[in-house]
Structure 1
Amino acid sequence: MKKIFIGMAILSAGLFTSCSDFLTEEPKQEQSNELTFATFDGVNKAAAAMYGMFQSDAWYDGEFTLMSELRCGNAKNPTSVPGSGRYRSDTQWIYSDRSTSPLWSYAYYTIARANNVINNLDDKVGVDATQQQVNNVKAEALFIRALCYFDLVITYCQPYNYNATEDDKMGVPLVLVTENGKPARDSKENVYNQIVADLLQAESIMADDYVRAGVTDKAATPTKPAIQALLSRVYLYMNKWQEAADYATKVINNKKYELAPADAYAAMFSAATAPEGGEIIFEVYGSDKNEYWDNSGWAHLPYITTTDDKGSHGDVCATKDLYDLYSEGDIRKSMYKQHGNDYFPTKYSGKPKDSDPKYTNVPILRLSEMYLNRAEAIINGASIQGVTAESDLRKIATVRGASQTAAATKQGVFDERRRELAFEGHIAADYARCNKSMTRKDFDDSKNKDVAFPSYMWALPIPNRECTANPNVAQNPGY
């Protein structure tokens, strides 16, 4: 097993924070590692802390999401409001090892927490837990570890299907047991294989109806459909088209989920929790009690992407060409609020609570993505009985009220993904995995209006502090 030194105390103080308002019964704040992991109840409570960092403004509730949109033509800096001065260079792709995505440390902290859960469960069977109870919690941790590695590999590595040189084959360090060590980067193929292995094991051991007990938002921890949805996404990125289509179909056929009709579309993004019977499969639960949500909220998605009289800054808005992709009558077009010549997205306008600052839930896996995954997979050769790419794309267009259905072509699906998944952090990885060069239209910045594929820039630099602390971690070429 691969091991690594993580620069934090991987113990109960680290494991038992970030849970307030996430569980109805809050865990104790401090106790020793030995005591924490001595019982199933202790490990189960420790597992609840795996989710805290997702709400950080460095991850889903901020930079990880917005850097993708700004780099690849969905977002820009507005001219109608002064903003706070943040996110002013991301459109230019001028990254360095001292100015790069902060995801690295947050993801490895979370991996450490997941590892501690995974590696302290097997001896609990028959002592104070049944095999199925152990399996359910282990499956949660396997999902979390897989999601972390997926986000790492799409951020700091070239896409899976591009391997022109040995450097292009580099992945990230695989860490399955958190101990002292300075591991080198594993191959990209090994990282993806581990992601798939974790998810397949999680799918095989989690109960079909499992939902973590006591959670405020039932979509904020993984279920079996969430595992299957993430498998569909991962297989899509690996160009394993049939597997991507098969797993998308498993989720689509699950009667628990349904695409939101036009009159419920906007509400699902601002709901206090994911609507029952809706299309959100897995999301980050936003809470002002999470320690990774700063007390002001000023760096999180609602403040960055909206402008109003409650202190929001409006540092990032949609590009005009993204806005123009939507046809009249498309409910998604109404999700942009015009301010001067700018169009601000309202996906993250906050929960229905009169509070300032605002906080939001962030959807990570939605049913609409499964239709898009399946359509793209079919275009690339997958086959699902009774289904065509046209029918899947038509389903999305119809439920969103669009007057036109996207063409059943690679470009058509790419454009529909832009429309449907805008401001959810997908577009940079979509360009990369499609080996697609980018030319931005609504762009008046100073550098990199066009970014060709291939280019070293599609893999962001490893943070300098990581390379300094661990000389075995090779920096990406070009930085």
Structure 2
Amino acid sequence: MLSQGKFSRQIKIVFNHYTIIILLGLILFSCSDFLEQEPGNQTSITELLSTKEGVLAALNGTYTTLEASVREERFAVYADMQGGNIKFTPIPTGSNRGNIIIPFRIENVYSFQDQAISGDFSSFYQQSYSVINQANLILEFVDDLIDATNSEKNQIKAEALSIRAYAHFLLALVYAQNYSFTPNASHLGIVYNRTTLTESGVTFPSRETLDNTYTLIIDDIQRALSLYTNLSALDGPIQTYFNENNTKAILARVYLNKNDWQNAFETAIEVINTSGVNLTSQENYLSEWENSVVPMTEILLQLSVPRDSGGSAGGSLSQHFGFQTITAYGNYVATNDLLSLYESFDIRSQMFLEQSLATNINGELENVNYYFTRKFQDTPPYPAVRLSEMYLIASEAAYNLNRTDDALNYLNFIRVRANASLISSTTNLQNEILNERRRELAFEGHYFFDLGRNQRSITRNDGCLAIVCDLNYPSPKYVLPIPQENINLNSNLQQNESY
């Protein structure tokens, strides 16, 4: 290990908030959550990042900020909620017991009516660029370390580059239309931030085209892959940090979203064949998902929850999806739209915890069955990428390369493991692949983005409370508004259509 001591995952490092940094942070260079300090005991950025210990602490803090941004309710439920995989639970206690309402944090987004002036996702936008800025600062200072070897520096740079690419990729999914929305992906992508204030000073950047955005994401990932060593920068399970294998897996996902079918296929196959990771077995599938302490066999990257000195978790996905008692449970459960896609003998049909909850039906409380996912009970980590996705990427890419035998082969790898009926016909194979992604990756933040890149309309039936339940493709509402406060501070930052 590179670290000289253990750095707890809950370390947060935040800068001193000078006025100009606050203003620019609202644009995209947020410095919050990077160097936490007490008044009168301030540590300069230069001093902190002048040693390997300081840089490693900063890297650890960056992972913590990244985990918080994707685990937070808005992003964690977004793709499955918008796509129709999840609905809401009744209020468990109090005068409104049994009533079902839309959680206020996602109310506007859920109805495709988010507002730029007070957007539901403003915090995700700011926090994502905070992650990016933290990674940039590490990259700025790491080469000057005098107490780290070249191998150690390369590993730190590789992880920081991977974090930067991943954060930009997630922003592109939320704020930019799919790659095929315009010819050559010439429509708006996102601001791609590769410098810090200390390097570039005050700048007011414009959004890249989506094609340029993907070029920059891929460039960062390829640079990272050229730098990885066989060491880890931080202590802990290898799956909890970026490494060569999971960075290649993220690259396969990027290629898929770019419609670069050849590279998507080859990269996914490379991960399958060389990562040393195997699919979780049919026998252990349910039990491994339910064990939130030991990583699943097939996990390539998971972001661990922060814990205090006593080992208690500061928060996890179970806050949204978990069931503890009939008076304490999360807001989100599976829709019948999703449940109906599983064959009765498919082991994934057992991935739901059925609970009878008091529900207001026409003014009377009645017990109604709800289905909580077993994936995120107790204190689970965030499953950023696992091997099953690589098989599904290989299948979809092969289909688009007219390699239907390969497409069926990799699709059926997942179905065999699930004890589901094999697919033998190429009729409607594209739909079969999309539905298999929906079944296998449910609750993991993919389906709405899958629909968008496949240019499919949204249909939400069971449990939909939105003002607008369905959305016909194409629509400007497949993306969210850039927060208006950022637009106000940067005249070069162009707003998305309709906002």
Q: Specify the TM-score bucket, using the shorter chain as the normaliser.
A: 0.7 to 0.9
Q: Distance in 2 between matches of 1:241 and 1:282?
A: 23
1:33 partnered with 2:21: no
Q: Distance in 2 between matches of 1:392 and 1:301?
A: 29
1:337 partnered with 2:348: no
1:463 partnered with 2:483: yes
Letter in 1 for 2:157: K
Which of residues 196, 199, 210 in structure 2 aligns to 1:178? 196
* Number of the residue aligned with 2:413: 395
Distance 1:446 1:342, change over 3 A: same
Q: Distance in 1 between matches of 2:352 and 2:133?
A: 39
Asked whether the 8 Å contact 2:88–2:101 carries over to 1, the reply is: no
1:360 partnered with 2:380: yes
Query: How much has 1:161 moved relative to structure 2?
Result: 1.6
* Number of the residue aligned with 1:346: 374
1:251 partnered with 2:271: yes
Which of residues 210, 215, 220 in structure 2 aligns to 1:188? 210
Query: How much has 1:453 moved relative to structure 2?
Result: 1.1
Q: Distance in 1 between matches of 2:389 and 2:465?
A: 31
Letter in 1 for 2:218: V
Query: How much has 1:184 moved relative to structure 2?
Result: 1.8
Asked whether the 8 Å contact 1:258–1:279 carries over to 2, the reply is: yes
Query: How much has 1:456 moved relative to structure 2?
Result: 0.4
1:50 partnered with 2:69: no
Letter in 2 for 1:171: G
SS in 1 for 2:181: coil
Structure (1/2) with the larger helix percentage: 2
Following superposition of structure 1 onto structure 2, how do residues 242-391 of structure 1 map, counting pairs within 5 Å? Answer: 242-254=262-274, 256-275=276-295, 278-289=297-308, 297=315, 301-309=317-325, 312-339=328-355, 340-350=368-378, 359-381=379-401, 388-391=406-409
Aligned pairs, number = 443
Query: How much has 1:372 moved relative to structure 2?
Result: 0.2
Q: Whose radius of gyration is greater, 1 or 2? A: 2
Asked whether the 8 Å contact 1:203–1:227 carries over to 2, the reply is: yes
Asked whether the 8 Å contact 2:252–2:263 carries over to 1, the reply is: yes
Query: How much has 1:449 moved relative to structure 2?
Result: 2.5
Asked whether the 8 Å contact 1:219–1:274 carries over to 2, the reply is: no
State percent identity of aligned pairs: 28
* Number of the residue aligned with 1:133: 152
Asked whether the 8 Å contact 2:30–2:127 carries over to 1, the reply is: no
Following superposition of structure 1 onto structure 2, how do residues 432-451 of structure 1 map, counting pairs within 5 Å? Answer: 432-451=452-471
Which of residues 83, 91, 108 in structure 2 aligns to 1:72? 83
1:149 partnered with 2:171: no
Letter in 2 for 1:142: L
Query: How much has 1:273 moved relative to structure 2?
Result: 4.4
1:106 partnered with 2:127: yes
Q: Distance in 2 between matches of 1:113 and 1:275?
A: 27
Q: Distance in 1 between matches of 2:307 and 2:383?
A: 17
Asked whether the 8 Å contact 1:406–1:416 carries over to 2, the reply is: no
Deviations along 1:290-335, one digit per CA (max 9) or x if unpaired, are: 9xx996x4xx531322333286333111110201111122221111
In structure 1, stretches of 5+ residues that fail to align are 18-28, 351-358
Q: Distance in 2 between matches of 1:342 and 1:334?
A: 14
Query: How much has 1:446 moved relative to structure 2?
Result: 4.5
Deviations along 1:237-269, one digit per CA (max 9) or x if unpaired, are: 000001001110111012521111133223333
Q: Distance in 2 between matches of 1:477 and 1:257?
A: 43
Distance 1:308 1:48, change over 3 A: closer
Asked whether the 8 Å contact 1:6–1:112 carries over to 2, the reply is: no
Query: How much has 1:64 moved relative to structure 2?
Result: 0.7
Distance 1:403 1:149, change over 3 A: same
In structure 2, stretches of 5+ residues that fail to align are 1-20, 93-97, 356-367
Distance 1:407 1:326, change over 3 A: farther
* Number of the residue aligned with 1:162: 181
Letter in 2 for 1:31: T
Distance 1:259 1:272, change over 3 A: same
Distance 1:32 1:256, change over 3 A: same
Query: How much has 1:275 moved relative to structure 2?
Result: 3.1
Distance 1:289 1:269, change over 3 A: farther
SS in 2 for 1:45: helix
Query: How much has 1:346 moved relative to structure 2?
Result: 1.9
Asked whether the 8 Å contact 1:230–1:365 carries over to 2, the reply is: yes
Q: Distance in 1 between matches of 2:424 and 2:467?
A: 31
SS in 2 for 1:281: strand
Q: Distance in 1 between matches of 2:53 and 2:187?
A: 41
Q: Distance in 2 between matches of 1:32 and 1:274?
A: 38
